[in-house]
Structure 1
Amino acid sequence: MTYDFSSLSPAQFEDFARDLIGRELKIRFEAFTDGPDDGMDGRHATADGDVILQVKHYYRSGFRALKRKIAQERAAIDILRPKRYVLATSVSLTPANKTQLAEVLGPALKSPGDIFGLQDLLALLRTFPDVERAHPTLWQQSSTVMKTLITNAVADAFPKPTAVPPVLAALLPNASGSGTATPPERDTIFIIKSSPIDDEFTLWLAPKLEAEGYRVFADVLTLEPGDRWRREINQALEHRAAKVLLITHNATLDDPSVQDDIDIALDVANRIGERRFILPLRLGAGPKVKGIGDTVAIDFVRGWGEGLALLLEALRRQKVPLESNAVLIDPNWELFRRRGAVPLINEPERLTSNWLRVVEVPDFINYYEPNGASDPSKLKRTLARYPYPTAIQGRGFLSFAGQVEINDAFEELGRFRLKLSVSLPKFLSEGIPQIGLEPRVASNALIGMIKEAWFRFCKARGLVEYVYSNNVGFHASPSLAPVGARIFWGKQGDRRSSMLRNIAKGYIWQYGVTALPATWPFWHLKLKARVLFASDNGTSDGLAIDDPKKMHKLRRSICKGWRNKQWHGRMQAFLEMLSGDNAYITLRLSAENDLVVEASPTLFTSPVSTMLPNIADADDEEVDESTLGRPEADVEETDA
């Protein structure tokens, strides 16, 4: 991945360079707080002198500005008298550029090779990719890195294959490692089937047999394709099978693996002298099986429940071993059923998140204190009327406004002085120690200020505010989204439309969101979908419902049929309603500072996709009755 490091602030670029250069030199650089750096951004102390690292983030300014700045700091560098001086910069450098910088730096620089320009840093990133992953602000727009992270997460989510699956190893002879020559007990019912054709029936049948006390095995328990463990499965079949259940229909009997298992089962039947060793289970039309053609099959065609009753009776009559007092149902049946419920396809898939990326924030946050005595309650009332977000801390308050703006806004309350101005990265990582503000409290204060800016923005847009148990949601109002009206969204040439208000089962539903600000792994707003209901009384607003339990029941019934396309479309339409023709949503933090958010959700790419049904067109689903609530899911009018 190629970077120009423009996504990193100067402080973030310093942290990144310390990590990367430190890995290359195999040393650890000390880090220092913001302020005068005395010619160094990192130091590695040794007995015979210090290794000094200086970092210059001059990707916008270019080489001339970098050279001029180094010349200004030459005196400070000479005073340090380091054992070794290393310079890292985001500026692209030529060999001639490095020679000129070496002349400016003087004897502190031992070699031009200790000057790391843009291309040098990119080369080191290829050598140390873990440093790239450790700095999310660097790669937050890199689909390559995101794909790697998602791929690793998907790989970690699946079980890792072992030499032999434990459930199969337990059936093999001498599985305990005792080395005894005693023949193992024949206590297991083996199901011969074709994968994946018969998986659904097997996953239904096997747990029911285990519930009766039988021990059951089928190749799905290996959680791998059957051929992977073919030799071990055949060995277990030869030594542990008390009975073999053969699923019979055309598709199964055409499977070569099934024919191999039948041959082994017939050999075992001949060896132990059991002519009813194999019980065919008929699931459909199929040819006679050589060797068991005269065996009466148990019929599952007329119904699986009826067939199960016949099978259990046959197993009882033939005295197949069971432990009715120690029933144990293997959880792997259910695990495999869930795993196979949504098959994965080895194709990449574009995913739309519910995150809105923050693309612009102020550089600093300010702390103001009154010049003299002040009335805390009066200050609180005045801040509540102030049109921009603030947060009271101690005697003063936090704000993104400058001194002149504060003087004008709070003139009648008194004079306030700017006591501290702190960069946002430092504010989040360190808080403000001078006033006792810890990082966690600082982060909460910042999140609260962003929420306040969001609230003011939504109210100004005319959205309906609703206070939920854990947060505030804003919904489409009748004036912005009349009942049944479609809001168009999407790129030109690929326009879609979705409803934000409509009537279903006698209730007006209106879509909305709660915005949850976050600063990790990058600054963003996470949107949580909300649906609010009112009784349809013929008016545009409807009759408000004050009963939270009834509101919950309505969400469970009316929204139950909404598919992913509905939720996705409504979120996109909601954002289109907020932003209009603008690609960004601007939250005002002061008269001169804004927090700018992308109006389109962040996209990610998954390395795999799923075989989910996707039949109906996205717009057709808006009028599909199932998306407006299942008819049979009547909502009770009384409390549960």
Structure 2
Amino acid sequence: MTDTRDAVFISHATPEDNAFTLWLGGRLTALGYHVFADVMRLKGGDDWERILEDAIRNKARRFLLVATPGSVQKQGVRNEINIANETGKRIKEPGFIVPLRLAAYQSPLQIVQAQYIDFEKGWAQGLAELLPVLEDAGVPRNATPSAAQAWQNLQLKDARTLGAGPETLISNWLSIEALPPSIGFYDFKGGISIGAAQTMIKDCRIPIAAHNRGFISFAPLHQLQDYFGPNLPLQLVDTCETDTFLESGWHSQRLAPKDCRPKFTDISRRALDAYFEDKGLKPFEYADGRNAWWPSSGKATMDQHPFAWAGLKGRRQLVGRSEKRGFHWHYGVSCWARSGPVRHVRMYGRVIFTSNGHDLIGDARRIHRMRRTFCKGWRNDKWRDLLLAFWYWLAGGADFVDVALGEGVFMRLSLPPITFAAPFGVNSPSDSASEDQDDDDELIVDRDDDDFGDDDDGEV
């Protein structure tokens, strides 16, 4: 291979994989590699068709194929694969084409033997595997500062600018305004076998958290005894002020603050699960054991749901249907309580998919693919409005909700979510439309969260 081949070419589907290509091209250029890609057309001007073809035939030392189910079917990408395949044979370089797998795909015949690099588990992880391949191929790192500046300009083309402040920011935290004044430790009276009790503690719908032989709870003794029955007599062994429990620990029970906080989170999780269930929502359990609670189409309907708190007004669908893909989508939330830095319930927006508005789609691979692709186009403004519409609908427009921690005792959550004031704003087009459009064309594009990830699902 001649030394004139000093570049890396990235072939990808436009516009689906532009974001990844900009990310990868920018990082490779920052590392000194000379990178060509179709996204450079955004600069306008030259005859890019001819420039890109010449780059593959005469300048590229490695041809990187951004491989997804959609990209390998696009005619423009297939044309570039054909040129790269011919070039690899001509220069006698069998490893010339390097597929970068972003999702499982059917490999075109020309590259069926090519070993791909897996970017599906994470872009940073894939980049870490790609760099040694480029190093072994002898791709020089001689990019000029102007090349790096060109990629930077591409990445900043649609960047948002700072504006005059202040700006009000809406969090995904609901403030905990009130808790019961004290919490109790309950144990089973001596002389009885508690083997059966452990299963009942685990399955208890009353909010409790296991501790030693018994459990901790805000609920009253008579309610707990009714649940465990006469064969498992209970006694209230100890109590602690709630503020002390969360801030200083429970010394008589040898519980440090770091031990008390997870127990409070566990108690609150059970309480929130019971609250959502009583409201008629359905659970979807994630791998970490957390539930996402979502409304069926019969519960929330596919109407626009308004919200109207002081300074916060709009409307959003909480359930929709994608005619193109043949499924319903449902907005839901996962919630858990935290005692710091302020007491709050933290929420993550989720999207659940059903076949008909109430039955979950059972194909795990299809669900995973939909989570990774369906909502990439949803901006923060839309996630924010969905969260506001969800809680306004669920609370009936009230300024608070009371989540039962036991009979007659509650955790009061303030609505809307906590807001913060930033000293400056960000100039950007608003996505908080008063009406939703059919989401098929706007939203079905190929990132991860994670996820919905998973963890990248919609944190506002």
Equivalent position to 1:475, from 282, 294, 311: 294
Cα 1:507/1:427, change in 2 over 3 Å: same
Q: 2:187 aligns with which of 369, 372, 379?
A: 369
Q: CA deviation at 1:379?
A: 2.0
Instruction: Provide the residue aligned with 1:447 in structure 2.
Output: 265
- After superposition, residues 240-279 of structure 1 pair within 5 angstroms as none
Alignment pair present for 1:506 and 2:321: no
Please report how far the alpha carbon of residue 603 of structure 1 lies from its aligned counterpart in structure 2 after TM superposition.
1.1
Structure 1 residue matching 2:287: 3-state secondary structure: coil
Report whether the alignment pairs 1:458 with 2:276.
yes
User: What's the counterpart of residue 348 of structure 1?
Assistant: 166
Q: Deviations over 1:34-82 (max 9, x none)?
A: xxxxxxxxxxxxxxxxxxxxxxxxxxxxxxxxxxxxxxxxxxxxxxxxx
**Cα separation, 1, equivalents of 2:309 and 2:251:** 48
State yes or no: 1:578 paired with 2:381.
no
What SS does the corresponding residue of 1:348 show, helix, strand or coil?
strand
For residues 314-353 of structure 1, give each alpha carbon's deviation from its aligned partner in whole angstroms, at most 9, with x where no partner exists.
xxxxxxxxxx966255597466765672221232211111
Instruction: Show the counterpart of 2:122.
Output: none
In 1, distance between residues paired with 2:259 and 2:364?
A: 32
- Report what 1:545 is aligned to: 361
2:292 and 2:386 mapped to 1: Cα distance? 15
Output the CA distance in 1 between the equivalents of 2:321 and 2:221.
51
Shift of 1:554: 1.1
**Which ranges in structure 1 are unaligned for 5 or more consecutive residues?**
1-202, 214-282, 284-299, 311-323, 632-640
CA, structure 1 residues 568+408, in 2 after alignment: closer, same or farther (shift >3 Å)? same
1:306–1:611: structure 2 CA closer, same or farther, 3 Å change rule? farther
Cα 1:461–1:395 change in 2 (3 A) is: same
Indicate whether 1:619 and 2:416 are aligned: no
Q: Secondary structure at the match of 1:479?
A: helix
Partners of 2:261 and 2:338 within 8 A in 1 = no
Is 2:317–2:436's contact at 8 Å kept on the other side of the alignment? no
CA shift for structure 1 position 414: 4.3
The offset of 1:302, in angstroms, is 4.4
Q: Aligned in 2, Cα 1:473/1:408: closer, same or farther, shift over 3 Å?
A: closer
Relative to 1, partners in 2 of residues 1:485 and 1:371: Cα closer, same or farther, differing over 3 Å?
same
C-alpha distance after superposition, 1:476-505 (max 9, x if no partner): 1222212x3222222389753211111112
Rounded to whole Å, the distance in 1 between the matches of 2:50 and 2:244 is 71
What is the CA–CA distance in structure 1 between the aligned matches of 2:352 and 2:413, rounded to whole Å?
Answer: 25
Q: Aligned partner of 2:293: which letter? A: F
CA deviation digits over 1:182-235, x for unaligned, max 9? Answer: xxxxxxxxxxxxxxxxxxxxx99xx69x7569xxxxxxxxxxxxxxxxxxxxxx
- 1: distance between equivalents of 2:445 and 2:143? 38
Residue 629 of structure 1 corresponds to which residue in structure 2? 444
Partner of 1:555: 371
Higher-Rg member (1/2): 1
Does 2:416 match 1:597? no
Partner of 2:142: 327
The answer to whether structure 1 residue 427 and structure 2 residue 245 are counterparts is yes
The amino acid of 1:518's aligned partner reads R
Asked if the contact 2:305/2:393 (under 8 Å) is kept, the reply is yes
Which residue identity is paired with 1:541?
Answer: H
Alignment size in residue pairs:
324
C-alpha contact (below 8 Å) 2:268/2:336 kept by paired residues: no
Answering whether residue 307 of structure 2 is matched by residue 489 of structure 1, we say yes
Go from structure 1 to structure 2 and tell me whether the alpha carbon gap of 1:358 and 1:329 turns closer, same or farther (over 3 Å shift).
farther
Q: Provide the rounded CA distance (Å) in 1 between the counterparts of 2:34 and 2:201.
A: 71
Amino acid corresponding to residue 207 of structure 2 in structure 1: P
Tell me the distance in 1 between the aligned counterparts of 2:193 and 2:354.
43
Out of 330, 333, 352, the residue aligned to residue 532 of structure 1 is 352
Once residues 494 and 212 of structure 1 are traced to their aligned partners in structure 2, the CA distance between those partners, rounded to angstroms, is 48
1:389-437 deviation per Cα after TM superposition (whole angstroms, max 9, x unaligned): 1122112211113445555655513443322111223223443344443
The secondary structure found in structure 2 opposite 1:369 is strand
Partner SS, residue 582 of structure 1: coil
Give the partner amino acid of 1:441: D
Aligned position for 2:57 = none
The Cα of 1:600 is off from its aligned counterpart by 1.3
Pick closer, same or farther for the CA change 1:598–1:436 going to 2, 3 Å: same
Check whether the contact 1:365–1:399 (CA below 8 A) recurs between aligned residues.
yes
Q: Is the 8 A contact 1:366 1:418 kept in 2?
A: yes
> Does the 8 Å contact 1:518/1:525 carry over to 2?
yes
Change (3 A) 1:623 1:305: closer
Task: Name the CA distance, whole Å, in 1 between partners of 2:248 and 2:309.
Answer: 42
Q: Which amino acid aligns with 1:344?
A: L
- Structure 1 residue matching 2:376: 3-state secondary structure: coil
Counterpart position of 1:145: none
Alpha-carbon shift at residue 387 of structure 1 (Å): 4.7
CA distance in 1, matches of 2:53, 2:209: 70
- Partner Cα distance (1:452, 1:563) in 2: 31
Aligned-pair distance for 1:559?
1.3
Partners of 2:178 and 2:257 in 1: how far apart? Answer: 22
Q: 1:345 to 1:361 in 2, by over 3 A?
A: same
Aligned residue for 1:561, secondary structure, equals: coil
1:480 partner letter: K
CA contact (8 A) 2:385 2:432 kept: no
Matched position secondary structure for 2:235:
strand
Bigger fraction of residues in strand: 2
Look up the SS of the partner of 1:465 in the other structure. Answer: strand
**Where does residue 515 of structure 1 map in the other structure?**
335
Tell me how far apart the structure 1 counterparts of residues 346 and 172 of structure 2 sit (CA, whole Å).
Answer: 6
The one-letter code matched in structure 1 to 2:434 is D
Q: Deviations over 1:337-380 (max 9, x none)?
A: 65672221232211111111110012211112223223323323
Maintained 8 Å contact 1:513/1:529: yes
Contact 1:369-1:397 at 8 Å conserved across structures: yes
Using a 3 Å threshold, how does the CA distance of structure 1 residues 308 and 613 change in structure 2: closer, same or farther? same
- In structure 2, the residue matched to 1:162 is none
Q: Hey, what's the Cα distance between the residues in 2 that align with 1:502 and 1:433?
A: 51
| Rounded Cα–Cα distance in structure 2 between residues aligned with 1:339 and 1:326 | 23
Give, in whole Å, the separation in 2 of the partners of 1:594 and 1:433.
25
Task: Give me the whole-angstrom Cα distance separating, in 1, the residues matched to 2:34 and 2:315.
Answer: 54
Q: SS state of the match for residue 356, structure 1?
A: strand
Identical-pair percentage: 23
CA root-mean-square deviation:
3.6
